Amino acid sequence: MVTAYDYPSAVHVARAGIDLILVGDSVAMVELGHETTQEMETDDMVHHCKAVKLGLEFVKSGSMLVGDMPFGTYEYEDTDIALRNAYRFVKEGGCDAVKLEGGSVARAKTARRIVDGGVAVMGHVGLTPQAISVIGGFRAQGRTAVRARELLDDALRLQDAGCFAVVLECIPANVAAAITETLEIPTIGIGAGGGTSGQVLVFHDMLGMLSHPQHDQFVPKFCKKYAQVGLAIQGGLVESGVFPGEDYSPYKMTEEEQAIFERLLQKDAEHRRRQHEIAAKKLSQADEYETLKLYGDNNSNNNNKGK
């Protein structure tokens, strides 16, 4: 599974034959510049899901599309709220399934309600980024025996609730392997070793989208970079001073039409020069007026002088 957040990334991922495509709420961090994923709303996620869906349709891809339900859209005791939001991902965003974070009893109840409502659900345990204010930041989970056993219980609870797969994020490899061996449904690891049923990586991280010759944007320790796309982008954007040139100026006039055009220009050259001077003067005067306005309301100052 690989993330995609827009039409171009969806086309690339689908053409690569990736089985599952996740429109992750990580879009908040890697595309929108936020420090966490918590800022995303359902409208935001549906917007990105629509774009990714169009990319999959363009490629005629059979990849499964999963949408991340954002923070604050499914945690309520009234599970019908979660179901209504899940329906939006399917009906408006074109998703085949939604993903929820957490494996508590309450979360399993929500997952069961959504599944019973006809929407497939992927679970997610371990590091759950939406809950960083509770777990103390982006920290690995399951590194004590007790907590590791709790993660197994969380995963089993999600399986019993009807989830078709569970993401295991930032947990020790042996813990992920034990959970994978115990479950009947697939596990998808991210920073969880190679013993899971599958893997998920963020599009921008694995391709080095934010690589730069002078610095390297933070990338999680568990993420292998398969390319340095950022360097290629930087190279392509550097101005060389030779564009467009003749090769990229394809639209030509015939010599006859060019001669006629030049004669037309000569006829009203003096008129165009005068119009240019008038326009330049007007712009200069307008600029002076705006500059004066920076020091306050001129009208109000004049009025005060008479008092």
pLDDT surpasses 50 at 305: no
Catalytic residue of the set 41, 169, 262, 270: 169
Return the closest-CA partner of residue 13 out of 47, 51, 44, 42: 51
Question: Would you call 169 a catalytic residue per the annotation?
Answer: yes
Taking a C-beta distance cutoff of 8 angstroms, is the pair 112, 161 a contact? yes
In one-letter notation, the amino acid at residue 96 is D
Q: Is the pLDDT of residue 206 over 80?
A: yes
pLDDT tens, 260-288? Answer: 989 888 888 888 888 888 888 888 777 65
As a whole number, the mean pLDDT across the chain is 86
Does residue 19 surpass a pLDDT of 80?
yes
- For residues 89-110, give the mean pLDDT: 97
> Would residue 221 be called left, alpha or beta, if left means φ above 0 and alpha means ψ between -120 and 50 degrees?
alpha
| 29-56 burial code (b ≥16 CB/10 A, e <16) | bbbeeeebbbebebeebbbbbbbbbebb
Question: Does residue 96 contact residue 65 with C-beta atoms inside 8 Å?
Answer: yes
Give the pLDDT of residue 290: 56
The model's pTM is 0.78
The mean-pLDDT minimum among 47-51, 119-123, 208-212, 219-223 falls in 219-223
Return d(Cα 36, Cα 22) in angstroms, integer.
Answer: 17
The predicted-structure confidence for 131-173, as pLDDT tens digits, reads as follows: 776 665 566 777 899 999 999 999 999 999 999 999 999 999 9
Distance CA(178)–CA(243), nearest Å, equals: 58
Ramachandran sector of residue 194 (left: φ over 0; alpha: ψ -120 to 50; beta: rest):
alpha
Burial 96-117 (b: 16+ CB within 10 A, else e): bbbbbbbbeeebbebbbbbbeb
